């Protein structure tokens, strides 16, 4: 017999439905209360709100055939909890004997109808579940010792009905059921048991003033593992959330603060959460075959599937760590993690360098990330349209698992043989065109280190020192990188351009900087710099350029620019170094590398930020000819560069990019976002230009479209306004008037709509029309 067959599965066809008028008459006859009845939802019982002159009640009319002891255990549990004054009667309705109860009505709203659900609300849910578990710990009733289809300890009996689910979802259900059985059954006997509510789903939770005030409907009360109530409530709290594990962490923290979880309960918590979600989808699938028109049976199904599809690949150990993380914080000694943002800011100022900048006028205290979302210490959600380091999404489970798995085994340097770094080098080279595809790799820890190494390679190959760079360029934070970054050496605290560095104008098409020489091709300004060097009997070692300049204002180079520039540099014996730190790995959408938009192949490619999805990882790839010149007898060694853990992260990032189609997503959603922003430009004169490729987008704000006067203060106000509305962006450009949009690659069309809608609202509120 399947679990569905073993349960109480009463359909509408077996019920004798009462009208609201009949319900009013019934409550008057049985309990002497005159009031007006309003039908409420219910799965088995018929429920009505009764509004009398001085009080509101809930009338519950049990389905025909309901057992007396099951009615009694519900009433006894409510009385034990001192939850109102439940009254019970037995009567005939249309010749059928039925149990009738009258309960006090609890004012508030269903948690299912509360959106968004704040961190304090989720914590209060956990606290309420814990307080009820505590109160029921000394309660018992024979009827509670029953077989119940929703008892999480019977999840293994779902296997037969899970076969009704086909395709990818069927595979998810089968795999998870096997994992749950392996995780839960061996320690099930160690779990604390008692009578529990049995079904604290969000339609049974009452909320008032952003806190949970009561649980209703004790129809599934059962003697089972105490932790099951927490698992059930948490499962439903996770539905509809962009960060389901983060939501779970708040519920668990609230529970743990009231009733400390035992070690065995912590071990099985995440598997039991998945068990409840699986019960929802499996039981719904079975019931749909019997009563396809009964909406109540499937009310949770699609929401549960969305969570299962998000989490089925997350290793249990990682999920457990996340959902227990907030509980650990609450158990820390005072002052360890409970300091307010003001205290944290003061400590930062005292402990860290004063020139370490913070974003936004009111800095954010970010504690968690998941996919394209970040979460602050208060649980507020922010759509991240800013951080290109978490390339495939914050806390991507495949990257996390790869790093954790390798760290648990070995992490050392490249003085020893290891497959990870070799496989990663092969995979990375395969993404490049010839001759780089057959070239040589070095691994470092950052884009700064990678650019340093690239210039050493160029100098070794050419025997020259001079470097040509682009106005507004930024290539890193080391001393040499500051010396070749006009953004730094011409900015505050800078010492000006060094004698061996030569700056060419940036081809900012919008600002028409190149109209000074309209007869020249845009890339010929590099030829002018090369010619100036030759007149002094010097030659460039390298032309170092970002394929799409970022801090210069999210610039897209005009067609042919790099072709002409590369030709001029190579004619003088120099090498062409492309900095892909900001835009590599498919960010531009149509191509995997930014330089491919220009139909060129550099001599050296520099990579950084996105490679490790947050794990420090940079890389340099060059031709064998240049690599041979660099091997001059001096050892190159980097303690952490190419370590097995970083290589594992890099491999996982490449896997996710391919398996999840994220480059295509950048092309599709990025193009859509550009279209929507350009439509917004027609309605707001402050938007002077919208430019970009894929998920590399700049929105330039000007106070006058004719003079192109930068709207610097307005841009700052807009970015801070977006932050307050839950969207994270940044400012860029020499005038700090460009809104920088570089989201994780999993950013979707719904996210794009949210960004544009809120940008529209912020611009409208600011009267920047």
In a domain, 409, yes or no: no
* CA distances from residue 620 to 408, 473, 642, 720 in whole angstroms, order as listed: 27, 19, 11, 36
> Is residue 402, in this structure, part of any structural domain at all?
no
* Nearest-angstrom CA–CA distance, 541 and 456: 10
Name the pLDDT band for 3 (thresholds 50, 70, 90).
very low
User: Do residues 623 and 439 touch, judged by C-beta distance below 8 A?
Assistant: yes
Domain interval for residue 368 = 342-390+662-765
Indicate if the pLDDT at residue 284 is higher than 90: no
Q: What is the pLDDT of residue 521?
A: 61
Question: What are residue 710's phi and psi, to 5 degrees?
Answer: -65, 135
Structure tokens at 688: 């002077």
On whether both 96 and 125 belong to a single domain, the answer is no
489 in a domain, yes or no?
Answer: yes
List the structure tokens of 480: 């040499």
Query: Is the predicted pLDDT of residue 195 greater than 80, yes or no?
Result: yes
Mark whether 326 and 349 lie in a shared domain. Answer: no
Alpha-carbon span 150 to 272, nearest angstrom: 12
Q: Are residues 443 and 560 in the same domain?
A: yes
Cα dist from 323 to 123, 256, 318, whole Å: 12, 11, 9
**Where does the pLDDT of residue 192 fall: very low under 50, low under 70, confident under 90, or very high at 90 and above?**
very high
Q: pLDDT confidence of 19, banded at 50, 70, 90?
A: very high
Exposed (0-12), middle (13-18) or buried (19+): which is 488, by Cβ within 10 Å?
buried
Span 74-99, mean pLDDT?
Answer: 91
What mean pLDDT comes out for the span 660-679? 98
Domain boundary residue among 330, 353, 376? Answer: 330
Q: What is the largest CA-CA distance in the chain?
A: 110
Mean pLDDT confidence for 252-257:
96
Which tokens hold the place of 81? 């909890």
Q: Is the pLDDT of residue 768 over 60?
A: no
| Spatial separation of the C-alpha atoms in residues 341 and 339, rounded to whole Å | 7
Give me the sign of the Cα torsion angle 71, 73, 74, 78. positive
Show which of 35, 69, 104 is a domain's final residue.
104
DSSP state at residue 672: H
Q: Would you state the torsion angle of the CA atoms of residues 192, 195, 201, 202, taken in this order, to the nearest 10 degrees? A: -100
Q: Is the pLDDT of residue 523 over 80?
A: no
**Whether residue 347 sits in one domain with residue 280:** no
CA distance 660 to 371: 13
- Give 638-652 pLDDT, tens digit per residue: 889 999 999 999 999
Which has the higher per-residue pLDDT, 137 or 165? 137
Which whole-number Å values give the CA distances from 735 to 469, 472, 473, 483, 706, in the listed order? 20, 11, 14, 21, 17
Question: Structural domain tally of the chain?
Answer: 4
Pairing mode, if any, of strands 46-52 and 35-40?
Answer: antiparallel
| CB neighbour list of residue 83: distance below 8 Å, 6 or more residues apart | 104, 214
Joined together, the tokens standing for residue 273 give 């959460």
What is the Cα–Cα distance from 24 to 48, expressed in whole angstroms?
9
Do 67 and 42 lie in a common domain?
Answer: yes
CA atoms of 586 and 661, how far apart (whole Å): 10
In a domain, residue 54? The reply is yes
Q: Output the CA torsion 109→114→119→120 (10° steps).
A: -20
Distance, CA of 619 to CA of 441 (rounded, Å): 7
Q: What percent of the chain is modeled with pLDDT above 90?
A: 71
Asked whether residue 257 falls in the same domain as residue 378, the answer is no
Residue 181 CB contacts under 8 Å (≥ 6 apart), including other chains: 155, 156
SS3 label, residue 367: strand
C-alpha 749, offset from chain centre: 15
- Is it the case that residue 268 has pLDDT exceeding 50? yes
Give the pLDDT band of residue 769 (cuts 50, 70, 90): very low
Say yes or no: 485 and 500 in one domain: yes
**DSSP assignment letter at 545:** E
Check: CB of residue 725 under 8 Å from CB of residue 761.
yes
Q: Does residue 395 sit within a domain? A: no
Q: Which strand (E) or helix (H) includes residue 103?
A: strand 96-104
Statement to judge: residues 366 and 462 lie in one domain: no
Residues 22 and 126 in one domain: no
Q: Do 192 and 100 lie in a common domain? A: no
Q: Residue 331: pLDDT above 50?
A: no
Residue bearing tokens 């799965």: 43
Task: Give the helix/strand (H/E) hosting 64.
Answer: none
Give the Å distances, CA to CA, from 250 to 238, 380, 462.
10, 12, 59
User: Which strands, in side-by-side order, build the sheet including 46-52?
Assistant: 35-40, 46-52, 56-61, 96-104, 87-93
Question: What is the distance between the alpha carbons of residues 739 and 727, in angstroms, rounded to a whole number?
Answer: 12
Residue 418 lies in a domain: no
Q: Please give the pLDDT value at position 4.
A: 44
DSSP lists the bridge partners of residue 662 as none
Q: What is the pLDDT of residue 299?
A: 63
| Region of poorest pLDDT, from 155-159, 482-486, 537-541 | 155-159
Statement: residue 297 has pLDDT above 80: no
Query: How many other C-beta atoms are found inside a 10 Å radius of the C-beta of residue 659?
Result: 10
CATH of the domain at 170: 3.90.1200.10
Cα dihedral: 224, 225, 227, 230 (round 10): -10
Provide the token pair at 372: 């394209």
CB atoms within 10 A of CB 89: 14
pLDDT for 522 equals 66
CATH number for position 61: 3.30.200.20
Ordered alpha helix ranges (H), 582-729: 624-630, 644-659, 662-681, 712-724
Phi, psi (degrees; rounded to nearest 5) at 666? -65, -40
Q: How many helices (H) does the chain have, and how many strands (E)?
A: 24, 26
Confidence of residue 340 (pLDDT cuts 50, 70, 90): low
**Residue where one domain finishes, among candidates 638, 672, 703:** 638
Q: What is the DSSP letter of 199?
A: -
Q: How many angstroms separate the Cα of 435 from the Cα of each of 187, 233, 430, 564? A: 57, 57, 11, 20
pLDDT tier at 674, thresholds 50, 70, 90: very high
My answer on whether 357 and 501 are in the same domain is no
Parallel, antiparallel, or unpaired: how do β-strands 575-579 and 540-546 relate? parallel
Pairwise CA distance, residues 72 & 83, whole Å: 15
pLDDT level of residue 592 (50, 70, 90 thresholds)? very high
> Is there a contact between 381 and 373 (Cβ–Cβ < 8 Å)?
yes
645, part of any domain: no
List the structure tokens of 50: 């009764």
Q: Is 38 helix (H, G, I), strand (E, B) or coil?
A: strand
Q: How does DSSP classify residue 555?
A: P
Helix (H) or strand (E) holding 334: none
**The domain that contains 608 carries what CATH number?**
3.40.640.10
Closest by alpha carbon to 698, among 546, 579, 551, 558? 551
**Distance of alpha carbon 31 from alpha carbon 37, whole angstroms:** 14
* Number of CB atoms found within 10 A of residue 729's CB: 25
Average pLDDT, the chain: 90
Q: What share of the chain is helix, strand, coil (3-state, %, to 5)?
A: 45, 15, 40
Residue 739, by phi and psi: left (phi above 0), alpha (psi -120 to 50) or beta?
A: beta
Contact (Cβ atoms closer than 8 angstroms) between residue 472 and residue 552 = yes
- Give the orientation angle of helix 749-765 with respect to helix 712-724, to 10 degrees: 120
pLDDT average, residue stretch 345-367: 87
What confidence score (pLDDT) does residue 182 get? 86
pLDDT tens digits for range 103-162: 999 999 999 999 999 999 999 999 999 999 999 999 999 999 998 888 888 887 888 888
Is the N-terminal amide bond of 116 cis, ω within 30° of 0?
Answer: yes
Predicted local distance difference test score (pLDDT) of residue 11: 40
* 731 or 1, higher pLDDT: 731
Residue 633 DSSP label: S
Q: Is the pLDDT of residue 57 over 60?
A: yes
Same domain, 629 and 681: no
User: CATH number for the domain including 752?
Assistant: 3.90.1150.10
Does position 39 have pLDDT exceeding 70, yes or no? yes
> Using alpha carbons only, how large is the chain's radius of gyration in Å?
32
648 lies in some domain: no
């Amino acid at each position: 017999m399947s679990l569905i067959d073993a349960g109480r599965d009463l359909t509408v066809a077996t019920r004798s439905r009462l009208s609201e008028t009949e319900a009013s008459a019934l409550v008057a006859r049985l309990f002497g209360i005159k009031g007006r009845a309003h039908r409420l939802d219910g799965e088995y019982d018929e429920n009505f709100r009764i509004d009398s002159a001085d009080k509101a009640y809930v009338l519950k009319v049990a389905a025909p055939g309901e057992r007396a002891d099951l009615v009694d255990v519900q009433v006894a549990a409510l009385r034990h909890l001192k939850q109102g004054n439940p009254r019970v009667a037995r009567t005939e309705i249309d010749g059928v004997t039925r149990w009738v109860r009258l309960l006090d009505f609890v004012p508030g709203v269903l948690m299912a109808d509360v959106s968004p659900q704040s961190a304090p609300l989720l914590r209060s849910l956990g606290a309420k579940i814990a307080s009820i578990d505590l109160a029921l710990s000394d309660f018992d009733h024979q009827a509670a010792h029953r077989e119940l289809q929703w008892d999480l300890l019977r999840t293994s009996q779902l296997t037969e009905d899970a076969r009704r689910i086909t395709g990818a979802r069927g595979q998810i259900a089968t795999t998870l059921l096997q994992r749950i059985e392996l995780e839960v059954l061996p320690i099930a006997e160690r779990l604390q048991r008692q009578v529990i509510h049995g079904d604290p789903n969000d339609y049974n939770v009452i909320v008032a003033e952003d806190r949970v005030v009561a649980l209703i409907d004790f129809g599934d009360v059962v003697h089972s593992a105490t932790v099951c109530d927490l698992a059930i409530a948490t499962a439903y709290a996770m539905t509809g959330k962009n960060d389901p594990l983060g939501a779970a962490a708040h519920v668990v923290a609230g529970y743990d603060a009231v009733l400390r979880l035992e070690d065995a309960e912590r071990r099985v918590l995440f598997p039991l959460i998945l068990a409840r979600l699986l019960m929802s989808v499996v039981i719904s699938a079975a019931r749909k075959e019997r009563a396809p028109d009964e909406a109540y049976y499937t009310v949770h199904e699609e929401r549960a599937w969305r969570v299962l599809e998000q989490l089925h690949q997350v290793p249990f150990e990682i999920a457990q760590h996340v959902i227990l993380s907030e509980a650990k914080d609450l158990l820390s000694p005072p002052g360890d993690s409970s300091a307010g943002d003001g205290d944290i800011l003061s400590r930062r100022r005292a402990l860290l360098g004063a020139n370490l900048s913070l974003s936004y006028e009111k800095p954010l205290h970010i504690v968690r990330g998941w996919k394209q979302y970040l979460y602050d210490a208060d649980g507020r959600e922010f759509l991240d349209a800013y951080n290109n380091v978490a390339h495939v999404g914050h806390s991507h489970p495949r990257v996390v698992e790869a790093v954790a798995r390798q760290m648990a085994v070995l992490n050392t340097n490249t003085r020893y043989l290891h497959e990870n770094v070799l496989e990663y080098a092969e995979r990375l080279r395969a993404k490049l065109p010839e001759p780089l595809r057959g070239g040589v790799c070095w691994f470092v820890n950052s884009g700064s280190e990678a650019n340093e190494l690239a210039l050493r390679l160029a100098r070794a190959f050419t025997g020259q020192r001079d470097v040509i760079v682009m106005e507004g360029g930024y290539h890193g934070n080391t001393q040499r990188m500051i010396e070749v970054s006009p953004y730094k050496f011409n900015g505050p605290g800078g010492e000006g351009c060094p004698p061996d560095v030569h700056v060419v104008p940036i081809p900012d098409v919008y600002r028409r900087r190149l109209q000074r020489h309209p007869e020249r091709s845009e890339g010929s300004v590099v030829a002018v710099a090369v010619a100036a060097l030759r007149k002094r009997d010097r030659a460039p070692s390298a032309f170092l350029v970002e394929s799409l300049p970022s801090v210069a204002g999210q610039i897209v180079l005009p067609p042919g620019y790099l072709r002409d520039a590369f030709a001029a540099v190579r004619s003088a014996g120099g090498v062409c170094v492309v900095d892909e730190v900001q835009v590599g790995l498919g960010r531009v959408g149509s191509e995997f590398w930014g330089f491919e938009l220009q139909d060129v192949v550099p001599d050296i490619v520099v990579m950084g930020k996105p490679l490790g999805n947050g794990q420090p990882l940079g890389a340099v790839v060059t031709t064998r000819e240049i690599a041979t010149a660099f091997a001059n007898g001096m050892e190159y060694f980097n303690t952490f560069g190419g370590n097995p853990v970083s290589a594992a992260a890099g491999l996982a990032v490449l896997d996710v990019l391919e398996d999840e189609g994220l480059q295509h997503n950048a092309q599709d959603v990025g193009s859509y976002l550009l279209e929507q922003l350009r439509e917004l430009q027609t309605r707001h004169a402050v938007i002077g230009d919208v430019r970009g490729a894929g998920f590399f987008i700049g929105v330039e704000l000007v106070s006058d479209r004719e003079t192109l006067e930068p709207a610097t203060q307005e841009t700052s106000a807009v970015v801070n306004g977006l932050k307050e509305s839950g969207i994270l962006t940044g400012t860029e450009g020499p005038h700090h008037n460009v809104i920088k949009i570089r989201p994780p690659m999993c950013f979707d069309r719904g996210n794009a709509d949210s960004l544009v809608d809120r940008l529209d609202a912020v611009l409208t509120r600011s009267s920047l029309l």
